[in-house]
Amino acid sequence: MAQITPTPIRLQEALYELMWHQSYGRVTIDAICERAGVRKGSFYHAYPDKATLAIEAFEFAWKNEAKPWLDDAFSPSEAPLTRLANWLDGGLQKTLQCQQEHGKVYGCPLFNVGSELSTLEPTVAEKVVEILRRNRRYIMTALRDAQAEDLIEIDDADEVARDVLTLVEGALTQARISNSADPIRRLPLSVGRLIGALIPRPSNLTVS
C-alpha cells in the first residue's frame, strides 16, 4: 500500500490519541493497528512493544505540536507576562475546541499517562519527565524576563517555574477528572496569585 504517511508515524499518532482519550492500559495493540489502518505484523515490524511506541509518540507530538505552539506563545517578542497569558489562553482554547468536538475534556496526555505508567513502565515515565522539563524552561525564561523588567518579585525563577507548571498540570488533571474546562479557565487568576502579579489579556488569538 502506498500510504501517504509512513507506518511508524501512523502508529504513533494512533497510540497518542487513543491513550490520551482513554488510557494507556486500555489501548490494545489491535486497537492501535485498526486506527492506524495497519496489520499487527506491521506493528511488530516497526516496534518491539507498546511502550517503545509510546515514547516515540510523545517525542513526535512534542516536535510537531507542542514545541511549535510553545515557541509561538512564549515568543520573546511579547511582554513576559503576556507570554504566560498566551500559553494559558491557548490551552483553554484547545480544550474548548476539543470539548465541542468530543464532548470531553482530556487534560494533558503527558501528565495522565505519566502518572498511570510511573510504576509500570519507567522508560515511558522518564520520557514524560523529560518533556515536562522542556515545558518548564519556557516558563522559567518568561519569569526571569518578568523579574528583570520588575513586573514580578520572586526569589528563585526556577522554583516558581516549577510551581507554575505544577499548578497548571494539576488544573488540567482536575479538568479531566471533572470533565469541565472550569479549572483551566481559572488558571490566569491562579497563576497570577502564585507569581504575585496580574496576568494580562493574551495577545495571540490563533488556535491550531
Partner DNA sequence: ACGCTACTTGACTAATTAGTCAAATCAAGC
Partner DNA sequence: GCTTGATTTGACTAATTAGTCAAGTAGCGT
Task: In whole angstroms, give the CA distance from residue 187 to residue 180.
Answer: 13
Is 198 a binder of a copy of itself (CB under 8 A)?
A: no
Q: Say if residues 57 and 15 touch (Cβ distance below 8 Å).
A: yes
Chain positions 19 to 38 lying near DNA, rule: CB under 7 A, are 28-30, 38
Closest CA to 168 of 194, 206, 147: 194
Please pick, from the candidates 4, 41, 77, 150, the single residue that binds DNA as defined by CB under 7 A: 41
Q: Burial-class residue 93 by CB neighbours within 10 Å (0-12, 13-18, 19+).
A: middle
Is 12 a binder of DNA (CB under 7 A)?
A: no
Size of the site for DNA (CB under 7 A): 18
Distance of CA 68 to the CA centre of its chain: 12
Task: In whole angstroms, give the CA distance from residue 50 to residue 35.
Answer: 14
Any idea which residue has 528563585 for its cell?
A: 156
Q: Cβ closer to a copy of itself: 10 or 176?
A: 176
Is 42 a binder of DNA (CB under 7 A)?
A: yes
Is 57 a binder of DNA (CB under 7 A)?
A: no
Task: In whole angstroms, give the CA distance from residue 115 to residue 86.
Answer: 27
| Least distance in angstroms from the C-beta of 139 to a copy of itself | 14
Q: Cβ closer to DNA: 50 or 83?
A: 50
| Least distance in angstroms from the C-beta of 181 to a copy of itself | 13
Q: Cβ closer to a copy of itself: 129 or 205?
A: 129
Contacts of 177 (CB under 8 A, 6+ apart): 107
The piece of 34-42, 48-56, 83-91, 107-115 that touches a copy of itself (CB under 8 A) is: 107-115
Task: In whole angstroms, give the CA distance from residue 32 to residue 10.
Answer: 9
| Least distance in angstroms from the C-beta of 56 to a copy of itself | 19
Closest CA to 80 of 137, 144, 165: 144
Please pick, from the candidates 170, 185, 200, 203, the single residue that binds a copy of itself as defined by CB under 8 A: 170
Residue 46 interacting partner from a copy of itself, DNA, none (CB closer than 5 to 8 Å by kind): DNA
Q: Cβ closer to a copy of itself: 96 or 132?
A: 132
